[in-house]
């Protein structure tokens, strides 16, 4: 088959990967010179630990398995099964971690509760005051800014993949073709649209009642830390934003330990991961009400830096990058992704929300199965 994939973010690239792996030919169109959206403006985390029970966890675990296999084939992804530590600093946070250990699926997630000494043994860079941490050995990381180029290079080496950047798709023609803004029509046997946060224009015409919203976030990256950060790190506020931690202990945490005004206003948690150059990617915030501001706000960065320094027990290196990003999220946040067959040979896949980097390999695998690739 000849498959037309529109959108070169991680979701589109993984759909191209699935098609090529199954023996098909792919023509891959991207309106920018390369991915510029949420697929490169994220942590690169493959984050299993906080996923909701049931379908979401199953998709994340399958995606983790696929990421590891793809990482073995494409070393440029810099896949690493580094695990994560969600650091607890209060008794209320510790109670949430202990509640998580009692989940029926705790073993599948790779949960383990560490005391302070064990936490520092697992990640010696954490020298701040802490009670312990919830360890998840299924969490992993890749390098987001180079993941798509590395995957494309591997795809091009097969001889069955063509990447066409700078092509904005203006029309879906019939059931198996698209027309781009160069006036060229690309015909195949199947069209898969993975257009990310681009929800207007053609996408609105094709799916006017699309149940997807945009979410904006702010993040930053530092100079090299000067030492390894062996695991990804989250703070106790992350318990508030992941469905796996819902329950009585979390409600008690919310009541006994409300977030500060900055963290509450910007719906914040700390996530921190080390890049291949030694720098730290740190975030993040969540903004849901449109229109979004065009500028970044300094107070969240100050809050994140303060929390990171408390956990590390040392000043952060110089912050060298700050950015904002926008991703697409299903309005029904219990759904992993919005997948819709618009016509016989045309599929739209969008709205994974903050799960995109984690779940995209398994999302693409399911699309391939449904589309009989």
Q: Tell me the mean pLDDT in the region 90-104.
A: 97
Please say if the pLDDT value at position 192 is more than 90.
Answer: yes
- Cα three-residue angle 366-371-373, rounded to 5 degrees: 90
User: Which residues make up the CATH 3.50.50.60 domain(s) of the chain?
Assistant: 2-41+145-210+337-370
Please say if the pLDDT value at position 80 is more than 90.
Answer: yes
In the CATH hierarchy, which top-level class contains the domain 2-41+145-210+337-370?
alpha beta
Q: What is the tens place of the pLDDT at every residue in 283-323?
A: 999 999 999 989 999 999 999 999 999 999 999 999 999 99
Please say if the pLDDT value at position 41 is more than 90.
Answer: yes
Please say if the pLDDT value at position 359 is more than 90.
Answer: yes
Q: Tell me the mean pLDDT in the region 271-277.
A: 97
pLDDT band, very low/low/confident/very high, at 273 (cuts 50, 70, 90): very high
pLDDT band, very low/low/confident/very high, at 154 (cuts 50, 70, 90): very high
Q: What is the tens place of the pLDDT at every residue in 117-138?
A: 999 999 999 999 999 999 999 9
Q: Tell me the mean pLDDT in the region 159-187.
A: 97
Q: Which CATH superfamily is domain 84-137+212-330 in?
A: D-Amino Acid Oxidase, subunit A, domain 2 (3.30.9.10)
Q: Tell me the mean pLDDT in the region 83-97.
A: 98
Phi, psi of 18 (to 5 degrees): -60, -45
User: Which residues make up the CATH 3.30.9.10 domain(s) of the chain?
Assistant: 84-137+212-330
Q: State the pLDDT at residue 334.
A: 83
Q: State the pLDDT at residue 333.
A: 83
| C-beta neighbour count of 217 within 10 angstroms | 22
* Mean pLDDT score of the chain: 96
Q: State the pLDDT at residue 96.
A: 98
| Full 3-state SS string of the chain | CEEEEECCCHHHHHHHHHHHHCCCEEEEEECCCCCCCCCCCCCCEECCCCCCCCHHHHHHHHHHHHHHHHHHHCHHHCCECCCEEEEECCHHHHHHHHHHHCCCCHHHHCEEEEEHHHHHHHCCCCCCCCCEEEEECCCEECCHHHHHHHHHHHHHCCCCEEEEECCCEEEEECCCEEEECCCCEEECCEEEECCCCCCCCHHHHHCCCCCEEEEEEEEEEEEECCCCCCCEEECHHHHHHCHHHCCHHHHHHHHHCCCCHHHHHCCCCCEEEECCCCEEEEECCCECCCCCCCCCCHHHHHHHHHHHHHHHCCCCCCEEEEEEEEEEEECCCCCCCEEEEEECCEEEEECEHHHHHHHHHHHHHHHHHHCCC
């Amino acid at each position: 088959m000849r498959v037309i994939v529109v959108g070169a973010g991680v979701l589109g690239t993984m759909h191209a990967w699935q098609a090529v792996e199954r023996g098909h030919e792919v023509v891959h169109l991207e309106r920018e010179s390369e991915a510029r959206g949420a697929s490169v403006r994220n942590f690169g985390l493959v984050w299993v630990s906080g996923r909701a029970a049931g379908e979401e966890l199953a998709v994340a675990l399958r995606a983790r398995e696929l990421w590891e296999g793809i990482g073995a084939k494409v070393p440029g992804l810099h896949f690493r099964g580094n695990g994560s530590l969600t650091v607890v600093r209060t008794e209320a946070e510790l109670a949430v971690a202990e509640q998580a250990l009692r989940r029926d699926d705790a073993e599948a997630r790779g949960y383990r509760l560490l005391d302070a000494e064990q936490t520092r043994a697992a990640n010696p860079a954490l020298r701040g005051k802490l009670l312990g941490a919830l360890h998840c050995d299924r969490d992993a990381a890749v390098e987001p800014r180079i993941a798509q180029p590395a995957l494309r290079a591997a795809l091009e080496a097969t001889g069955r993949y063509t990447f066409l950047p700078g092509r904005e798709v203006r029309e879906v023609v019939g059931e198996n073709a698209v027309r781009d803004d160069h006036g060229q029509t690309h015909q195949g046997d199947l069209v898969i649209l993975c257009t990310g946060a681009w929800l207007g224009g053609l996408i609105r015409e094709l799916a006017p009642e699309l149940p997807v919203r945009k979410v904006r976030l702010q993040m930053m990256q530092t100079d090299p830390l000067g030492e390894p950060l062996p695991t990804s790190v989250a703070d106790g506020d992350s318990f508030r934003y992941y469905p796996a931690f819902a329950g009585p202990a979390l409600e008690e945490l919310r009541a006994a330990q409300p977030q500060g005004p900055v963290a509450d206003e910007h719906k914040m948690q700390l996530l921190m991961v080390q890049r291949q150059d030694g720098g730290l990617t740190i975030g993040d915030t969540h903004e849901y009400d449109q229109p979004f501001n065009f500028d970044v706000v300094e107070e969240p960065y100050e809050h994140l830096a303060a929390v990171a320094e408390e956990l590390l027990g040392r000043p952060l290196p110089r912050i060298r990058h700050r950015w904002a990003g926008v991703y697409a999220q299903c309005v029904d946040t219990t759904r992993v992704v919005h997948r819709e067959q618009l016509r016989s040979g045309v599929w739209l896949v969008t709205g994974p929300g903050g799960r995109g980097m984690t779940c995209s390999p398994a999302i693409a695998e399911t699309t391939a199965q449904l589309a009989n690739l």
